[in-house]
Amino acid sequence: MTMPGYRTYAPPSAPERAGMAKSSLVLGIVGLAGLALCFAGLLPALVGLVLGAVALARGTSARALAAGGVAVSLAALVLGGGFLAFLLTRAAECGDEARYPDHSARERCIDQKFPFAQTSSTTGSTVE
């Protein structure tokens, strides 16, 4: 029972814990930016996806941050995985010995499909 005019004591509430949700969003953004560096962003995006899913499952108050982290991480994984599959498919075509029977034909294929790659014949160096 309380006296009139006095409030009851309520202990302070625990601080909000949104570390996983924030980390998920940051890692998703780093993952998107890291795709430009030879797919180095795939690993942070994967970790960001896991952290965001755990934060959503725990039901923290920062659900919007966690959902954003999951969305950005998933976008980085889909973009990076799709582009990696595209490049590997093109590289496998150049490795087909039925279409390109000798080494010089495979090098020409690589030069045509990947103009940014330099083979030994285009750099002017010879193999001894």
Q: Which two tokens stand for residue 27?
A: 């890692």
The answer to whether residue 110 is domain-embedded is yes
* Residue at 76 is within a domain: yes
The whole-number pLDDT of residue 128 equals 42
Domain range for 72 is 19-116
83 assigned to some structural domain: yes
How far, CA to CA in Å, does 85 sit from each of 9, 82, 91?
Answer: 61, 5, 10
Tell me how many domains the chain contains.
1
- Residue 94 resides in a domain: yes
Q: What pLDDT digit, counting tens, does each position of 35-51 carry? A: 988 889 999 999 999 99
Check residue 81 and report its DSSP letter.
H
CA gyration radius, the chain: 26
Whether the pLDDT of residue 115 is over 70: the answer is: yes
Is 122 a residue whose pLDDT tops 50?
no
Confidence of residue 127 (pLDDT cuts 50, 70, 90): very low
Q: 11-23, pLDDT tens digit by residue?
A: 777 777 788 999 9
| pLDDT 10s digits, 50-109 | 999 999 998 878 899 999 999 999 999 999 999 999 989 988 888 888 888 898 888 888
- Would 123 be classed as within a structural domain? no
- Determine, yes or no, domain membership for 103: yes
Instruction: Assign 22 to helix, strand or coil.
Output: helix
